[in-house]
Amino acid sequence: MGEEPCFPDHACDRRAEIMSQPRSGAVVALAIFALVGAIFAAVSTADFVAFLDRQVHSVTCSFVPGLGAADTTGTSGCHAVLMSPYSAVFRASTWGGIPISLAALSVFAFLLFRAADLLIRRVAGDPDETRFLVAATLLPVLVSAVYLTIAVLRIGSLCKLCVGIYVASLGVFISAIVAHRGAARTAPRRSVPWGAYAVAFVEGVVFVAVPVLLYLALKPAYTSAMANCGDLIHPEDRYGVRVKLGGPAGGVPAIEVIDPLCPACKGFSERLAASGLGARLDPEIVLFPLDKECNWMVSESLHPGSCAVSEAVLCAGPQARDVLEWAFANQDKLREAGKDTKRVYDLIRQRFPELGGCLGRPAVKARLNRSLRWVVANSLPVQTPQLFVRGQKVCEEDTDLGLDFVLARLLDRPQPGGGAGR
């Protein structure tokens, strides 16, 4: 039996509308996921931008932005991800770099625009349109997969805002596939409209480029005066307290004041390594454990067990870097054992049995004490990490988001003839 004719004409339009409802529903779902992704990305970008004044701020870390308590201590996964070397690109070109979340916000805004455009023009069932949606949503889902892998394997923390972005990315991709499969089943095969796709691609580039350019134009300027945080008063090492980590021949002399069980020191080390600039340094470390077991400058142990681990680093000699990297990788375990110094010694001996005869000996304890006195002689604050390049201090405000930018400029300065910092 033939298809029943439509009278009046608007009945045919109504039939076409009903037939396209599943595909329109998928595009509506895509728009909703894009809106959710844009919200999560916008909150993450706002948190990043807040730090551009080089001060300390709280960080949003909630699956429902605005409802959960903000992280004011820097212990959340969101803070770890934000301060990681993977949260922004072009860090060496501009202070802080360009946040990845800003690009995510732009992409989600573009997808929301495309979905709204299809719904307004009532072409949600056009396979040419939905094919481009699939291609466009492939970008955020692939980037999300990469960043989820980095968060788990490299950073070791998950950011709740990032998880929201990951879910939204998967949602827009699945919605686009559903919309395209429905459209492809009913529409006749046609040639690919490459010209229209080129225009849509340019639109997407504009959606990303304009916010990035505005961000660069409006972000606070970094002046040379901001980089002046003083020099070492007594850079010499008369008592041999500094530990050489082994740098390249002709590397720029640098001194790091660190606590091996300090989470901020671990993050700083990771940022320095990821920047690639660490390879240009000839680093030495001064151990400054914030543990009352050996440090009379602290009334409470901020990082219990760090005195014992610092002894291990001093005992290790050429193996110092290996011991330090092991301590960074096992900070939680070592701090947990830190209330009992003997337990920390046992953990160290299990991993580095050759250090057993040195740990706890008067000689290494005296050397660690002289390391603390070196800090006092240079009037350094009771905090870690601290970095000095050719004797000049890298400001505390520049050791996280601004590290690449500031350190690159310090390294590119002509080296004075005197070998500062040695």
Say if domain 14-218 classifies as CATH 1.20.58.740.
Answer: no
Q: How confident is the model at residue 176 (pLDDT cuts 50, 70, 90)?
A: very high
Q: Which residue has the higher pLDDT, 126 or 147?
A: 147
Q: What is the pLDDT of residue 6?
A: 45
Q: How confident is the model at residue 222 (pLDDT cuts 50, 70, 90)?
A: confident
Which string of DSSP letters, residue by residue, matches 127-191? HHHHHHHHHHHHHHHHHHHHHHHHIIIII----HHHHHHHHHHHHHHHHHHHHHHHHHHHSPP--
Residue 97 has pLDDT above 90, yes or no: yes
Q: What is the pLDDT of residue 422?
A: 44
Residue 8 has pLDDT above 50, yes or no: no
What beta strand segments (E) does 68-112 contain? 88-89, 98-99
Q: What is the pLDDT of residue 66?
A: 67
**What percent of the chain is modeled with pLDDT above 70?**
89
Residue range 276-298: average pLDDT? 93
| Geometric angle at alpha carbon 283, from 280 and 284, rounded to 5° | 175
Between 55-64, 198-207, 238-247, 413-422, the lowest mean confidence (pLDDT) is in 413-422
Q: Where are the domains of the chain?
A: 14-218, 228-412
Residue 186 has pLDDT above 80, yes or no: no
Residue 415 has pLDDT above 90, yes or no: no
Q: What is the pLDDT of residue 297?
A: 95
Q: What is the pLDDT of residue 21?
A: 47
> Chain-wide mean pLDDT for the chain?
87
Residue range 394-419: average pLDDT? 81
Q: Which CATH superfamily is domain 228-412 in?
A: Glutaredoxin (3.40.30.10)
Least Cα distance to 74 among 162, 167, 157, 146 occurs for: 157
Which string of DSSP letters, residue by residue, matches 330-353? THHHHHHHTTSHHHHHHHHHHH-G
Q: How confident is the model at residue 61 (pLDDT cuts 50, 70, 90)?
A: confident
| Geometric angle at alpha carbon 259, from 348 and 70, rounded to 5° | 115
Residue 4 has pLDDT above 50, yes or no: no
Q: What is the pLDDT of residue 420?
A: 42
Q: What is the pLDDT of residue 15?
A: 41
Q: What is the pLDDT of residue 417?
A: 53
Q: What is the pLDDT of residue 246?
A: 78
Residue 46 has pLDDT above 90, yes or no: yes
Give the tokens for residue 191. 């040639």
Q: Which residue has the higher pLDDT, 107 or 317?
A: 107
Q: How confident is the model at residue 169 (pLDDT cuts 50, 70, 90)?
A: very high
Spatial contact of 211 and 143, defined as CB atoms under 8 Å apart? no
